[in-house]
Amino acid sequence: MLNFQPETPNRKKRVIIGLGGGIAAYKVCELVSTLFKTGVEIRVILTQAAQQFITPLTLATLSRHCAYTDDDFWQGSQPRPLHIELGEWADLMVIAPLTAHTLAKLACGMADNLLTNTVLASTCPVLLAPAMNTDMWEQLAVQRNWQHLLTDGRFHGMSTASGLLACDRIGAGRMAEPPEILTYIQSLLHTGGKRDLTGKRVLISAGGTREYIDPVRFIGNPSTGKMGLALAQAALHRGANVTLVHGEATWDAPLGVEAIPVDSAAEMQEVMQSNLPNADVIIMSAAVADVKPKVYSPEKLPKRSLPQSLPLESVPDIVAELAQLKQPHQLLIGFAAQTGDIITPAMAKLQNKQLDMIVANPIDAADSGFGSDYNRAVFLDKHGNKVEIARCSKLQLAHLLWDFVVFFHAESQRRGE
């Protein structure tokens, strides 16, 4: 058995949050507060402009540590230069909001305040969440600086959202929301900033399907699609191009992911097959219905007209059909949600449906499976490897699966497959 258990950290992770001068700075309060609750140590740096929008006292209170400003930098009250201490301390730096001014400085390697000096004095990954007026964001000079900065492997850029901005303009330039930034932070703390899926095209199915009896009644299941969402987030953060085919969802797909909503198993089958030829890795994490009503009523049936018995017929076995269509260079991964013994049926599914890998997860374990933010699983592959994953967040499980995929690919190359 391979040792793929999550590593137990020997210390808390350390994150520096740097704030530029923009109205989106108020959102960082939520980010800092939530990040602290996850057990991360936080240091906050405010530029002089950022202090016009939010006070150091607020962020010091939320981070449980003094928030640094340029006054601390220039006074030199530390035994060692403050930017050196902070740069060596950090596992990750986050700059949110990233303004056009700070972006230009970073693109040119300038260092004229505490934040930019700390960036140059560090070697850790840097996550950038830009925020500015649409016209500012779309300026050729700003886009040139943005693209140039992202050629440096240290820097990880979040896409801006579109919507109503504080200037009443509707358009691009809105900073990513705190939950999305938090997820990216958690990804980078797991990977250390590596982009081992760069150039890979990933196709993921998520959530449950619905098989309708009439326009308001259907056969379904409790799947929320959170596991598939986590797989998409983790792949995106590791450099992949991601297409997410999902059933009914209460969440929004991450910025940068192509999301395709579907309803029934037949719709999911059609979309998955049409996107299959362009994919390198396919993950069927969706909870697809096994049966559907033989007869569909296009009008709502009165209660008195509901059938006492409901004739059913099978729906397409999507993962089995994908296995027949996939090419040798493609990797197909299935999921098996089970109660009781999860290994035996997962092994049978792995072999009978000719999958490369399968994830067996219990849906009867406490606080895991359908609807939960946590999961536990056993990874099985066609080479006979078996990896047990203890209860962890679905995002962490997603990263562990991608770690296993990278391992599987390396082992397959070694075998000459």
Q: What is the pLDDT of residues 102-139, one digit of tens each?
A: 999 999 999 999 999 999 999 999 999 999 999 999 99
Burial of 415 (0-12, 13-18, 19+ CB in 10 A): exposed
Spatial contact of 209 and 287, defined as CB atoms under 8 Å apart: yes
Indicate the domain borders of the chain: 14-191, 201-415
Domains 14-191 and 201-415 share a fold: yes
In this prediction the pTM is 0.92
CATH code, residues 14-191: 3.40.50.1950
Q: Which of 33-42, 135-144, 264-273, 298-307 has the lowest mean pLDDT?
A: 298-307
Q: Which helix (H) or strand (E) element contains residue 27? A: helix 27-37
- Which residue of the set 66, 108, 167, 392 is catalytic? 167
Q: Nearest CA to 355 among 379, 328, 331?
A: 331
Give yes or no: 108 in active site: no
> β-strands 211-214, 201-206: how paired?
unpaired
Q: What is the pLDDT of residues 374-395, one digit of tens each?
A: 999 999 999 899 999 999 999 9
Handedness of CA 134, 140, 142, 147 (dihedral sign): positive
What's the CATH fold of domain 201-415?
Answer: Rossmann fold (3.40.50)
- Give φ, ψ of 398 to 5 degrees: -60, -45
